[in-house]
Amino acid sequence: PFSAFRSPSDLESRLVSLECHFTWDLDVGRSDLLCLRDALEDIGSEEGYCWLGHIYNLQGFIHHQLGLVEQARAFFCRAAEAFRQLRNTVSDEGPWLVVNYGNMAWLHHQTGERAQTREYLLKVEALTAEYPSPSLDDPHPEICAEKAWTLMKLGRNEKLLAAELFQRAIRMQPDVVEWQTSRVLALVKAFMHRKETLDADILEKVKIAKEHDPENLYLAALYLEAQAQKGARIHNEAQKLARRVLRKPVSSYSGMKPFLRLYRTYVSMDEALDLAEEALERHPDARYIKRCAAICYKRKVFSQSNDHLERSAIERAIGLHKETIALYPHSSLKMQISLANIYAKSERRAEAEELFEELLRSDLDAGEEQMVCSFYAKYLQHSEKESNKCITYYMRAAVVPHQSFYREDSIRRLEKIGEEKRQTTKSDIEDFLVHLSL
């Protein structure tokens, strides 16, 4: 039993064996942590109600990784309280607290509070003894589901693993609707990551999940979008869904983002903008709605030919982007790149150039540097027609030792330019690519 701590290494090995955020190999860089922190805030407490404990647990871990220990402690305490209120059971304790207590044990361990570390290890032991997992091979379904929900917030491969973990939780405890919905959402998002249309099997899963969880408008929007991709007429359904989405509290779980994407792609760009403006009128201070509206206006600007640009749409796009960037000071790099590209599209090249140069001077991690260099190179190539200068920035993106879409894309573009260029430039690019692959 945990009551007999024989040595510091014994304590360490017990910490490592816990199921919690600190042992799940969540390898997230600083910029992604900041984006994730904002994304979790945008879920809000009303729409994300059934996930509040999970949200606060992950926020606690994020703040710890960012070096904000006291904020981490506060979030872990809020998580425990949220689980107790949500479960509304006779007992204050339950298997849903295992991850939280594990997080607390790690937090105390890393701040040198040995007595509290032991106390939380004992609490975990007591809970796992009282609530054993129905499966010999898997942790308790509550733990599987929390780990799955956490992985859903990360990359594409993690989303596929999340779907599998939700499936394991559902096999042990089949009556939790939120787990079934989330499993399907994880599968859909993994497909969307690859820019693939949903196959018939996943579409059927979405349909069944939608019937079991009719209040989940995020799911409803994704289902309509998938039907529209297959050629179905969805205008009437989309209009009905519009009214429901607009009445929802502001949240990234409300369905607003996939719904506006559905509208601008399959119904009408101008109607999508009208809906975004209506949402802004209802919630003028909601940063998440501003972000959704900014994306809509960006799409409008880039869908128009240079001869037919609407000045009012450009000004609105620029204004919304500036407001949104100010509201997301730590996670708006993509928004800033979009703003630079809107400047370029609308012939405001000095402002585009200035913003790109400013971004290149800022404190970027490897992935961010690749992204900015890649977009700047495209801007130089297509807007400025500076073919030699663009090569420099594609090379700068490619030479950063970090695997990403932007690195691969930069290498592909260099190869293409090399095929089209005169001999000296062609051999320079070939030499660079040969050295890169060594």
How high is the pLDDT of residue 426? Answer: 81
Which pLDDT band holds residue 424 (cuts at 50, 70, 90)? confident
Q: Record the tokens describing residue 86, joined without a space.
A: 């949500």
| Contact yes or no for 82/112 (Cβ under 8 A) | no
Which pLDDT band holds residue 216 (cuts at 50, 70, 90)? very high
| Mean pLDDT within 359-374 | 95
State which amino acid sits at residue 62. I
| Mean pLDDT within 296-314 | 92
Q: Over 60: is that where the pLDDT of 297 sits?
A: yes
Q: Whole-angstrom Cα distance, residue 188 to residue 133?
A: 28
Tens of pLDDT, residues 75-98: 999 999 999 998 876 677 899 999
CA-to-CA dists, residue 348 to 315, 361, 404, 425, angstroms:
12, 21, 30, 30
Q: What ranges do the domains of the chain cover?
A: 1-132, 140-214, 268-363, 369-438
| Mean pLDDT within 260-275 | 95
How high is the pLDDT of residue 408? Answer: 95
Q: Does domain 1-132 have CATH number 1.25.40.10?
A: yes
Tens of pLDDT, residues 125-173: 999 999 999 999 999 999 999 999 999 998 778 999 999 999 999 999 9
Tens of pLDDT, residues 16-61: 999 999 999 998 989 999 999 999 999 998 888 999 999 999 999 9
State which amino acid sits at residue 330. H
Tens of pLDDT, residues 372-391: 999 999 999 998 888 889 99
| DSSP classification of residue 328 | -
Q: Whole-angstrom Cα distance, residue 422 to residue 388?
A: 12
Tens of pLDDT, residues 187-199: 998 887 666 677 8
Tens of pLDDT, residues 197-215: 778 888 899 999 999 999 9
pTM assigned to the model: 0.92
How high is the pLDDT of residue 407? Answer: 96
Q: Say yes or no: do domains 1-132 and 268-363 share a fold.
A: yes
Instruction: For domain 268-363, give the CATH number.
Output: 1.25.40.10
Which pLDDT band holds residue 3 (cuts at 50, 70, 90)? low
| DSSP classification of residue 17 | T
What's the mean pLDDT when you consider all of the chain?
A: 92
CA-to-CA dists, residue 127 to 99, 112, 130, 132, 295, angstroms:
11, 24, 5, 8, 46
Q: Over 60: is that where the pLDDT of 1 sits?
A: no
Q: Over 60: is that where the pLDDT of 2 sits?
A: no
